[in-house]
A and B are shown apart, each in its own frame.
Chain A
Amino acid sequence: MTDKKAKYQKVAYYPGCALEGSATAYDRSTRAVGKALGLDLVDVKDWNCCGAMEVKNIDAKIQTYLSSRVMSIAANEMDMDVVMAPCNGCYHNLKKAEYDLKNDENSREVVGKLSEKAGHATYASGQVETIHALDWIRDTIGEKGLGERVKNSLKGLKIANYYGCMYTRPRHIFPEKDQGPGSESTSKPHFMDDLLAAAGAVNVEFPLKTACCGGAHTLSDSDMSTKLVLNIIRAAEAAGADVIATECPTCHSGLEMHQIRAQKRFGVETKVKIIYFTQLLGLALGLKPKKVGIHENISDSLGLLKEKGLA
């Protein structure tokens, strides 16, 4: 058993705000897949917001503190050494906090003062390792192990894997990536492609897999976000995809909602379905659509899944 395989069997689970709100399907399917694969998720106790976008725009150091508190609870109150965050925003912010605390004295000072004031142990860089749900499944079960557990192959399903912009950027906060064979690539990420291929899917060539979806721009210029999303969806369809697989709740919500808005605002109808990669893996492992929250998606994929024999 490799170090990571053993280390990631039981991880502290940090769902973050999105997975308790707009992305309950991602939370449901992540837990269901973990259970089906025999992996342990232990929720971080009394977790807080990672600082997301709002706090960071006001004071980046507060965001560093908020993310550090989540890691501190996992390390100092739960005695865990791995935090798994399925949300790209949470994952990104915890990695960024880790980087800042390792490299910036001022960040350490601010976090120390705030932690003392809040009455909890100060997080020290290196106490935990933050990983994404993709790392968690890939490094414990792997493509081979997943292939062996598939009960309902995704065979015939053409998938465009969409990673969004925060999973790989900026490179310096992900020192484990771009480390050669077996590691994730920041320019052409492939972990989601690898897992879904192991589950039987056909991955299409998708050149916009890390392109910006417009994200929070949706509040200040909704039309721009709709156009960015529509272009991503059109590229996926031009590549022949039935489904865009996602691994970020912000991207997922954006794709689903702007797909509908594109039809209403610009009269452009598109057909590709938006599904979390954990939902697809759950279906491949033989879980029922409801178990992985297919009914909770805005994008109605049940017809396609029935047609493909997956529901």
Chain B
Amino acid sequence: MRSLAELEARLEDIITERGEPTSAEELLECGEAVLEHWITVRGEDPTNDEHEGFRILALHRQGARGDASFNACRETCRELVYHFNLMSELRADTDDAQSSLQMMALIANHLVLFVGGKMQEAGLGEFCCSAKPLHEEINDLSEVTDA
């Protein structure tokens, strides 16, 4: 499985039109991979089930179980599915298809950044999200005094 950093780098290449061409399948898989990371760090096995015909939607439901703030990326997952469906109606060599793929990459990138952010700070997506210092236990006072 590609790391979040690798996924972010690949998506950045697609967004800036560098590197290998992409496909709707690859971008949907990027989205699934992001959610797999989230679920794995929670100590669970990512599901292979589908919801409404898509694994990414089942993975999102699994990832949001017990953590309502994860619903902040629910619509992002659904937008990926929408664009995937849209791509199945478009000829790959058309401008519309390229625009849709570009948008899919941006949507997947939001998922990488949001979920990556939540893995650093669980409160992201829960208004207003971090105020990180309040949650952190300061074990080493030099961290504060040296700052």
Chain A residues proximal to chain B, CB less than 8 Å: 52-54, 56-58, 89, 92-93, 165-166, 169-170, 187-188, 207-208, 210-212, 214-217, 219-221, 224, 227-228, 231-232, 234-235, 238-239, 250
A238 and B117 contacting across the interface, CB-CB below 8 Å: no
Q: Which of B76, B116, B128 has the most CB of A within 10 A?
A: B128
Question: What 3 pairs between A and B have smallest CB-CB spacing?
Answer: A220-B132, A53-B128, A207-B79
* A57 CA / B129 CA spacing, docked (Å): 9
A227 and B113 contacting across the interface, CB-CB below 8 Å: yes
Beyond A220-B130, A238-B102, list 18 extra A-B contacts (CB 8 Å): A53-B131, A170-B71, A207-B107, A208-B76, A210-B75, A212-B124, A212-B125, A214-B117, A214-B124, A215-B127, A215-B130, A217-B121, A219-B132, A220-B131, A221-B117, A227-B113, A228-B117, A234-B15
* A57 CA / B123 CA spacing, docked (Å): 10
A228 and B114 contacting across the interface, CB-CB below 8 Å: yes
Q: In this assembly, does B134 line the interface, its C-beta being within 8 Å of a C-beta of chain A?
A: yes
Note all chain B residues with C-beta closer than 8 A to A250: 128
What are 28 inter-chain pairs, A to B, with CB distance below 8 A? A53-B127, A54-B131, A57-B134, A89-B127, A165-B72, A166-B127, A170-B68, A170-B71, A187-B74, A211-B76, A211-B114, A212-B117, A212-B125, A212-B129, A214-B117, A214-B124, A216-B128, A217-B117, A217-B129, A224-B113, A224-B117, A228-B110, A228-B113, A228-B114, A234-B106, A235-B103, A235-B106, A238-B103
* A166 CA / B129 CA spacing, docked (Å): 11
Note all chain A residues with C-beta closer than 8 A to B107: 207-208, 235
B125 and A224 contacting across the interface, CB-CB below 8 Å: no
A216 and B129 contacting across the interface, CB-CB below 8 Å: yes
Chain B residues proximal to chain A, CB less than 8 Å: 15, 68, 71-76, 78-79, 82-83, 99, 102-103, 106-107, 109-110, 113-114, 116-117, 120-121, 123-125, 127-135
* A126 CA / B60 CA spacing, docked (Å): 35
Note all chain A residues with C-beta closer than 8 A to B109: 231
* A210 CA / B76 CA spacing, docked (Å): 9
* A214 CA / B125 CA spacing, docked (Å): 8
Given contacts A207-B107, A224-B113, contact A215 B128 (CB under 8 A): yes
Chain B's closest residue to A227 (CB) is: B113
A216 and B114 contacting across the interface, CB-CB below 8 Å: no
* A197 CA / B102 CA spacing, docked (Å): 26
* A188 CA / B127 CA spacing, docked (Å): 19
Contact of B128 among A89, A170, A187, A232 (CB under 8 A): A89
Chain A's closest residue to B128 (CB) is: A53
B103 and A220 contacting across the interface, CB-CB below 8 Å: no
A165 and B106 contacting across the interface, CB-CB below 8 Å: no
Note all chain A residues with C-beta closer than 8 A to B131: 53-54, 57, 216, 219-220
A208 and B102 contacting across the interface, CB-CB below 8 Å: no
Chain B's closest residue to A266 (CB) is: B12
A220 and B121 contacting across the interface, CB-CB below 8 Å: yes
